[in-house]
A = this chain, B = another copy of it.
Amino acid sequence: MTNSGEFIRGFTDYIILSILSKFDSYGYEMSKIIEYVSKSNIQLTEATLYIALKRLLNDEKITTYSGKNKKGMSRRYYQITPKGKKAIKEFRKDWVLIENTLSSLFGGNFEYYRES
């Protein structure tokens, strides 16, 4: 999808936090997860991803540690913090509202009484 980045702007941080809610992960793997889950329709460019990780670290919503995978390759792993867990929990409520509102608007199934 072209311009997918413009659509998911604002959601990037929560996509990352959602993944890290399931397991610790590293940048490249997270980009592959998004590619896989979206069936290649949505793409997070590396720049966007790494800048978002920096932002989340700065906000203390995630922490990081160096590790090695089974093959001995260096990986920079990220882990969600209690503050990050709180943020994603609150966001999930917002997402329900956003999803319902946008679906109503885009689907045209809303009523609005025009008085004039």
Number of residues in A with C-beta < 8 Å to the partner? 48
| Residue in B closest to A68 when the chains form the complex, CB atoms | B116
Q: Which residues of B contact A14 (CB under 8 A)?
A: 106
| Residue in B closest to A113 when the chains form the complex, CB atoms | B36
Question: Is A49 on the interface with B (CB-CB < 8 A)?
Answer: no
Residues of A within 8 A of B (CB): 1, 3-4, 6-11, 14-15, 18-19, 21-23, 29, 33-34, 36-39, 41-42, 69-71, 73, 88, 91-92, 94-95, 97-99, 101-106, 108, 110, 112, 114, 116
By Cβ-Cβ distance, the 8 closest A-B pairs, closest first, are A6-B10, A38-B101, A69-B116, A7-B10, A41-B97, A37-B110, A70-B116, A18-B105
